[in-house]
Structure 1
Amino acid sequence: MATKFSVLIGMQSLSSRNENNSLIYRRPKTNYSILSSKNKPIYKLASSTITESTTSSNPEKNPKIELEFIGPKVGGDGNYPVEKASAISGDKLLRNIMSDNNIELYATYGKVMNCGGGGSCGTCIVEIIDGKDLLNERTNTELRYLKKKPESWRLACQTIVGNKENSGKVVVQRLPQWKK
């Protein structure tokens, strides 16, 4: 993965990215003029550019993570309802994936009293049934809120799904505190 960087001279950037995600370098002219009214140097960018392509000729397809969300209560047929979603590896938090797919995350209290994903309320608890290795490690926030909870419990707002390189399936139990 390429990292965007810029070298600044005055207020002008010497590198940027174009629409093809290629890095473009610009050399400032060695001569510059000074505005007599403001006494500030003006750096003019050279018109020529050097382009370094950062995209490969065969770009790899972004790996996907398949997710299954198990409902907290048994349905009318005697089974727990399951909702499915998928996401690009390392691209989103579990909370955002659930929100984007209209998958219920919060209990009644949590719907009105959640922190909006800031990691300061602990209302977005989920249990990871399978695929724990496809998620990031527990954050300090999770360690604080979930210190007396099972290791498989996570805060959806702190859980990154994938690491941009892995793919697989994650099974998530919604509202594990309701499960009996």
Structure 2
Amino acid sequence: MLTARSHRRLWRKVRALSEELELPYPFDAETFLALLAERRGRPIEVLSVAVDAAIPCGLLMTTDHADYILCTPGASALHRQHILVHEAAHLLCGHDRLPTPETPGVRALLPGLSPDLVRRVLGRTVYAEPAEQEAELLASLILHRVLREGPGPGRDHGRAGTLVGVPSRRPVRPRG
């Protein structure tokens, strides 16, 4: 459980991280991952993996030479974008360098991989974990920044903006 002080510290840290990032315009999660991979000096590959409902819809797996984001193929475009940015947020926060306990469901998903590698899979499903809260907050702030900074003068975010709480800027026609 976060104290009020640690909550404020988390917000300051994550807000600063989100504001310093170079974001592609127009925003595309795959392009964002390519920029992050370049910044980190190691590839990030997105893999579509069909999983059952007991396993999270996105996982981050790090190896000695590359990072892999596993994503369910049936996710909507908006959900896929959030999954990719959330998993990228784990990398941005340095969670790939933290020791991680074995995650439930990972052995079932990746039975052919060594236990040492599987322990480095970041696929937590409990949002009460500090690393999950930090990654989720960073992903949300990044996507909020995307909506805030683009597109052009009218900033019409259309249906996707409405789904994430940004009102459309379309002119309202008076009745009558």
Q: Answer yes or no: same fold by TM over 0.5.
A: no
Q: Which has the higher helix share?
A: 2
Q: Which has the higher strand share?
A: 1
**What is the TM-score normalised by the length of structure 1?**
0.25
**What is the TM-score normalised by the length of structure 2?**
0.25
